[in-house]
A and B are shown apart, each in its own frame.
Chain A
Amino acid sequence: MAEVVRVAIRSDADIVMVRQQARVLAKELGFSASDLTLIATALSELARNIVDYAGQGEIILSLINQGGHRGLVIIARDNGPGITDIERAMQDGYSTGKGLGMGLPGTRRLMDEFEISSGMGQGTTVKVTKWAR
């Protein structure tokens, strides 16, 4: 089981599209309706960050299986300006853009695992995982 879907993110229409792709993939793992919604919401925030801050990037969705424990991994990657102060970006209500500043901290709450790597001029990569129960 190594299903991987790559979606290029360039516009707000791609945000809707990647959500649909993730739903199809996540359904295979038997996620509940409420988990599917949490995943779609997190994905929406990550994809919008790409469009708003980097202009374009990609999202990679993959199914993983770790010792019988199955999950969905979302990697959101861009070559945008990067985040200078990750600690601040992870605080509720902090935003340098037009958002509410809920995107990154909110996404962390919606998912089971959250990793971010970014630096000025290095783009941003966020990796989140939701485990199927």
Chain B
Amino acid sequence: MKTPILKQGPYLIASLQDELTDTDLLQLQDTLVEQVGRFRSRGVILDVTMLDVMDSFATRTLRNMVQAVSLRGAEAVIVGIRPEVAFAMVQLGLDLRLSGVQTTLDLEEALVMLDHQGQGWGRHG
């Protein structure tokens, strides 16, 4: 299953779908890192609102994506971890795996955060 990636100004928004397989996730990782370069994106939003499970593989792959995107010069934010998913991640011991990774409650907040971070280096200037 392909993950839809929306280009919104300087940002890419990937909406991760329910029932995503490991292979789909790895494919998304490659696509995103490539598109950051192609569109010269400043930020990447990984929207996981639809995900009803974030197991160890998904968590590790998301962390890798965030780090790879950051090495490509863009900021990444994970958006919309569901309450029950957050609880399961803590139980599983995965919460620390995402330490240092920016997370927000929703898309709006993520956009505000990226806008704010972008101001620091004169994107309008």
Residues of A within 8 A of B (CB): 12-13, 15-16, 19-20, 33-34, 36-38, 40-41, 44-45, 48, 92, 99-100, 102-103, 105-107, 109-110
Contacts and interface: CB of A to CB of B under 8 A. Distances in A.
Contact of A37 (B52, B57, B60): B52
A12 B97 CA distance: 22
Interface string B66-85: 00000000000000001111
Given A37-B53, A106-B56, A12 B22 contact: yes
Contacts of A107: 92
B99 interface: no
Contacts of B85: 37
A69 B4 CA distance: 44
Nearest to B83: A34
Contact of B55 (A36, A44, A92): A44
B88 A41 contact: yes
A103 B56 contact: yes
Interface SS of chain B: helix
Contacts of B57: 44, 48, 99
A70 B54 CA distance: 26
B119 interface: no
Nearest to A47: B55
A44 B23 contact: no
Interface of B: 19-23, 52-57, 59-60, 82-85, 87-89, 91-94, 97
B67 to A, nearest CB: 15
A41 B21 contact: no
Given A106-B92, A106-B94, A41 B20 contact: no
A16 B56 contact: no
Contact of B93 (A33, A36, A105): A105
B93 A20 contact: no
B2 to A, nearest CB: 15
A44 B21 contact: no
Given A99-B57, A107-B92, 13 more contacts: A15-B21, A37-B82, A37-B84, A38-B87, A38-B88, A40-B52, A41-B54, A41-B55, A41-B92, A48-B55, A105-B93, A106-B56, A106-B94
